[in-house]
Structure 1
Amino acid sequence: MSALFQLQNVGKTYQRGKESVRIFAQLDLAIPEGDFVAIMGPSGSGKSTLLNLLGGIDRVSSGSLRFREEPLDTYSESRMTQWRAANVGFIFQSYNLMPMLSAAQNVELPLLLTGLNRRQREQNVKIALDVVGLGERARHYPREMSGGQQQRVAIARALVADPALLLCDEPTGDLDRQTADEILGVLRLLNREHGKTIVMVTHDPAAAAYAKRTLHLDKGVFVQREAEHV
């Protein structure tokens, strides 16, 4: 299985005034095509920083970050923006839906930056909502939906441009156990039946169990042997 992402000797440092704060020193990670990996670790361990690097929101300070052998660390800002729009879907703990827009209109938002015509956008939106089981709720507004349904809309929005990678930051953090399991089931379906590569940050061992493997991050390094799931 070929690597979708390859991080080699990645370092990341932030400047806080005159102080230099190191998040990673020499981080190595390979993410194969079709992987579903959960990243766990205490607050401040670097989990969100790792997602930001993978999503092209942040840049490495040193080392190499490659996507299908392409060196992302050499991209210009404009090229990185284009790459991110074409290849990455983001799912967060907060659903970040626009309250004045319907489910379909929320899902369509990423497509407004593409060259697709209206008919093509509508077709993509319909497919994305059907995949998450909300085809019949396309005209409903966020206020008319439960938290779980709103998160499904957020997943559909992340999917609508058919990205290679889904990055999930505590996607079930605000949901009860039953609803969380339903959302995690959708993510597992996307991975197993639609071939989506997923990287999910979570504090919840029950959520991590839905992934193919779990990595534990602490103080900017991976610790203990990774757990493989069936």
Structure 2
Amino acid sequence: MQRIPTTDNLIDIVDLSKSYRRGSTEVPIFDKLSLSIERGRFVALMGPSGSGKTTLLNMLAGIDRPNSGMLAVDGERIDSYSESGLTRWRAQTLGFIFQFYNLMPMLTAAQNVELPLLLHRMSAKERRRRVDTALDVVGLADRARHRPRELSGGQQQRVAIARALVADPKLILADEPTGDLDRPSANSVLEILRLLTDELGKTVVMVTHDPVAARAADVTLHLEKGCFVNEAIAA
């Protein structure tokens, strides 16, 4: 396990390179990409299809690995972790929100939220307390016993946010979290993501194609062909 000196940044990326092979052809995604994200910031990541947004999110999640360069989260060099090390790290550090919710249809909202806690050693009483707290944060305490089919799309996404939050991660990654929602439901989800940073101090990195969603963030980063072309910082 390698550490870097502690800074105000939760994420430090230095000279990150990534490419894939398609047959005999090597397709570059990033070439010496660098980025720092401060703790407690809400960052929107935008760019056209094929710009590298999803690849970068997957590398931040430890799902994909760089070919070279440094990728550190909270001072930990996750680019050097083994698969078992990454599994432990994700359970302790990361929450993930998906565009299409990824809820288990046979489980209640509370049971879906509880799933990440099954990777931790804690009592059933503590799990219940955390689930109740997470559902309360997203405004769904009264829907704990409902199954996904009994919830609207916006409510299902709020359950997914509660699931990402329940283990108290430092970093929350969101992949098009409003992409399947109508505007009122999307705005409700964005308000919750803002609350996670403003009141709970979480760092949120959100991939989005929606400029309205991006405006909810503190920082908007634009990727094109694997490079950051500009950034806008909210007032």
The number of aligned residues is 229
Indicate the residue corresponding to 1:90 in structure 2: 96
Q: How does 1:90-169 map to 2 (within 5 A)?
A: 90-169=96-175
Query: Cα distance, 1:69 vs. partner?
Result: 2.4
In the alignment, the residues of structure 1 paired with residue 27 and residue 85 of structure 2 have an alpha-carbon distance, to the nearest angstrom, of 28
Uncovered stretches (5+) of structure 2, i.e. residues with no partner: 1-6
Uncovered stretches (5+) of structure 1, i.e. residues with no partner: none
In the alignment, the residues of structure 1 paired with residue 228 and residue 39 of structure 2 have an alpha-carbon distance, to the nearest angstrom, of 21
In the alignment, the residues of structure 2 paired with residue 180 and residue 69 of structure 1 have an alpha-carbon distance, to the nearest angstrom, of 33
| Alpha-carbon displacement from aligned partner over 1:119-144 (angstroms, at most 9, x marks no partner) | 11111100100000001110011111
Residue 26 (str. 1) matches residue 10 (str. 2): no
Query: Cα distance, 1:16 vs. partner?
Result: 2.0
| 1:183 maps to which of 181, 185, 189 | 189
TM-score by length of 1: 0.97
In the alignment, the residues of structure 2 paired with residue 38 and residue 113 of structure 1 have an alpha-carbon distance, to the nearest angstrom, of 29
In the alignment, the residues of structure 1 paired with residue 56 and residue 66 of structure 2 have an alpha-carbon distance, to the nearest angstrom, of 10
Tell me which amino acid in the other structure corresponds to 2:234: H
Tell me which amino acid in the other structure corresponds to 1:220: G
Indicate the residue corresponding to 2:44 in structure 1: 38
Q: CA RMSD in A?
A: 0.9
1:210 is paired with a residue of what secondary structure?
Answer: coil
Query: Cα distance, 1:47 vs. partner?
Result: 0.2
In the alignment, the residues of structure 2 paired with residue 119 and residue 23 of structure 1 have an alpha-carbon distance, to the nearest angstrom, of 46
In the alignment, the residues of structure 2 paired with residue 196 and residue 152 of structure 1 have an alpha-carbon distance, to the nearest angstrom, of 16
Indicate the residue corresponding to 2:232 in structure 1: 227
In the alignment, the residues of structure 2 paired with residue 5 and residue 28 of structure 1 have an alpha-carbon distance, to the nearest angstrom, of 10
In the alignment, the residues of structure 2 paired with residue 147 and residue 216 of structure 1 have an alpha-carbon distance, to the nearest angstrom, of 28
In the alignment, the residues of structure 2 paired with residue 210 and residue 108 of structure 1 have an alpha-carbon distance, to the nearest angstrom, of 28
Indicate the residue corresponding to 2:86 in structure 1: 80
| 1:61 maps to which of 56, 60, 67 | 67
Large movers: runs of 4+ above 3 Å: none
| Alpha-carbon displacement from aligned partner over 1:94-130 (angstroms, at most 9, x marks no partner) | 0111111000000001111111121111111001000
In the alignment, the residues of structure 2 paired with residue 71 and residue 186 of structure 1 have an alpha-carbon distance, to the nearest angstrom, of 30
